[in-house]
């Protein structure tokens, strides 16, 4: 938003009463034929309508002025300005991947899993569940122990990039089988529509792409323009020898899938120099176990509190924009538990034993969680 002082200097908006008094004084000085300017009169009412329209038009002009510049534009205005730089806002996309259906009985018959069948996660503490639709009819053949079933999320968004072992239920009965998603189950990361801040930053960095030779910002900007990329870094200090560049990609699900890396390689290759040796690789997720002891009142359900703490920690370490993905402070854990669980009067973090700070190409995700509930 343009500073208010600048807007007031360029397009000042007077108070309605002050503007009314000013106009009446001008009319009287000019010898206007109507002399009744009292409130409630017909002319006074018409004058106030005109002055209100003037103020509204000035407000519209201020809004338009603010959105004429990429550094201040928002929403659809920003989309229009991005087109001037040959940029587009990254649109949301649905998570795709494979859910493994395994037999519980080795002697079972063939099982057909029809296209459109629904798999889902268990309900979380808020009663929400995430549903995934089977993309093509798949058969768990007789004698086979398991089969991978292609699925797509019900809707767009990062929240469908669930961790391992979360998709465990089927709306349709499939027989004596169990469902599960493996660690690397995702083939295409789900993502949210790009926010204004990210879109604005990419647009303003467009100037870095105009040089004869690509610089660090250019590699980052091009990589972050690929849907599914949450964050990108570029190491241009000859990491593997003279003329080498490493582009490190963090996807919306953490580690980037091979499909996402291929898309980034294609995008980066368009700005690479003829002798550049560019390696596009994924950041590495590192599971961090957390143990916390919380104190609650005598009337609080211990199991419910433990589940709530686990949900809060899951949200704390969710892969998202704005979070320092390679850092985890004990104070952040304590604050998240205290603020997210109103029944908790005290929280002591026993694991990790100290603040965690890894290399910038690492992404800390939630590992095993241990919650001990004590009574005050």
pLDDT tens digits, one per residue of 333-359: 999 888 888 888 888 999 999 999 988
Pairing mode, if any, of strands 118-121 and 177-180? unpaired
Average pLDDT of span 216-241: 87
pLDDT of 272 strictly over 90: no
Question: For residue 275, what pLDDT band results from cuts at 50, 70 and 90?
Answer: confident
Is the pLDDT score of 308 beyond 90? no
**What pTM was estimated for this model as a whole?**
0.73
- Average pLDDT of the chain? 88
pLDDT cut 90: percent of the chain above it? 38
- CA torsion 36-37-43-45 (nearest 10°) is -140
pLDDT for residue 200 is more than 80: yes
Reported confidence tier of residue 300, pLDDT bands at 50, 70, 90: confident
Per-residue pLDDT of 14-47, as tens digits, reads 888 888 888 888 888 888 888 777 887 888 888 8
Residue 65 buriedness (CB in 10 A; 0-12 / 13-18 / 19+): middle
Taking only the tens place, the pLDDT of each residue in 75-117 is: 999 999 999 988 999 999 999 999 999 998 877 788 999 999 9
Q: Give the angle subtended at the CA of 193 by the CAs of 191 and 199, to the nearest 5°.
A: 115
Max alpha carbon distance in the chain (Å)?
104
pLDDT value of residue 93: 94
Confidence label for 188 from pLDDT (cuts 50, 70 and 90): very high
- What pLDDT sits at residue 235? 84
3-class SS of residue 40: coil
Burial class (CB in 10 A: 0-12, 13-18, 19+), 118: middle
Question: How far apart (Å, rounded) are the C-alpha atoms in residues 235 and 223?
Answer: 13
Rounded Cα distance between 144 and 182, Å, is: 18
Q: Which of 148-157, 194-203, 302-311 has the lowest mean pLDDT?
A: 302-311
Mean pLDDT in residue range 132-155: 93
* pLDDT at residue 147 in the model: 93
Cα–Cα distance for residue pair 374/376, rounded to 1 Å? 7
Tens digits of residue pLDDT in 208-218:
777 667 788 88
pLDDT at 175: 86
In this structure, what token pair is assigned to residue 297?
């009142």
pLDDT tops 90 at residue 263: yes
In the chain, which ranges are E strands? 96-103, 111-113, 118-121, 131-134, 138-140, 146-153, 167-170, 177-180, 186-188, 229-235, 244-251, 254-255, 277-282, 284-296, 327-328, 344-351, 356-357, 362-375
Task: Quote the pLDDT of residue 212.
Answer: 63
Averaged pLDDT, 274-299: 87
In this prediction, what percent of the chain has a pLDDT beyond 70? 99
């Amino acid at each position: 938003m343009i500073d208010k002082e600048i807007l007031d200097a360029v397009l000042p908006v007077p108070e309605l009463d002050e503007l009314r008094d000013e106009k009446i004084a001008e009319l009287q000085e000019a010898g206007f034929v109507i002399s009744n300017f009292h409130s409630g009169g017909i002319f006074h009412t018409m004058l106030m309508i005109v002055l209100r329209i003037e103020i509204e038009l000035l407000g519209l002009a201020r809004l338009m002025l603010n959105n004429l510049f990429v550094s201040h534009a928002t929403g659809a205005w920003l989309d229009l300005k991005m087109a001037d730089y040959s940029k587009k806002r990254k649109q949301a996309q649905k998570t795709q991947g494979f859910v493994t259906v395994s037999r519980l009985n080795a002697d079972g018959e063939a099982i057909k899993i029809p296209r459109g069948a629904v798999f889902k996660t268990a309900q979380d503490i808020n009663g929400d569940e995430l549903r995934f639709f089977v993309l093509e009819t798949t058969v768990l053949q007789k004698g086979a122990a398991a089969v991978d079933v292609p699925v797509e999320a019900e809707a767009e968004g990062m929240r469908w990039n669930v961790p391992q072992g979360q998709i465990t239920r089927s709306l349709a009965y499939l027989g004596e089988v169990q469902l599960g998603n493996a660690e690397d189950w995702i083939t295409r990361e789900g993502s949210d529509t790009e926010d204004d801040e990210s879109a604005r930053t990419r647009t303003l960095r467009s100037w870095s792409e105009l040089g004869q030779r690509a610089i660090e910002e250019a590699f980052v900007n091009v990589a972050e323009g690929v849907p599914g990329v949450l964050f990108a870094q570029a190491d241009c200090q000859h990491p593997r020898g003279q003329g080498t560049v490493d582009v490190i990609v963090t996807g919306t699900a953490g580690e980037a899938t091979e499909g996402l890396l291929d898309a980034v390689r294609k995008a980066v290759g368009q700005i690479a120099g003829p002798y550049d040796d560019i390696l596009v690789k994924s950041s590495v997720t590192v599971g961090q176990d957390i143990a916390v002891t919380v104190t609650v009142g005598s009337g609080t359900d211990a199991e419910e509190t433990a589940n709530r703490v686990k949900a809060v920690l899951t949200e704390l370490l969710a892969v998202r924009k704005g979070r320092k993905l390679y850092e985890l402070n004990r104070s952040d854990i304590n604050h998240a538990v205290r603020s997210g669980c109103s029944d908790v009067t005290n929280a002591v973090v026993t694991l990790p034993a100290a603040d965690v700070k890894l290399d910038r190409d690492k992404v800390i995700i939630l590992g095993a969680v241990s919650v001990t509930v004590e009574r005050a």
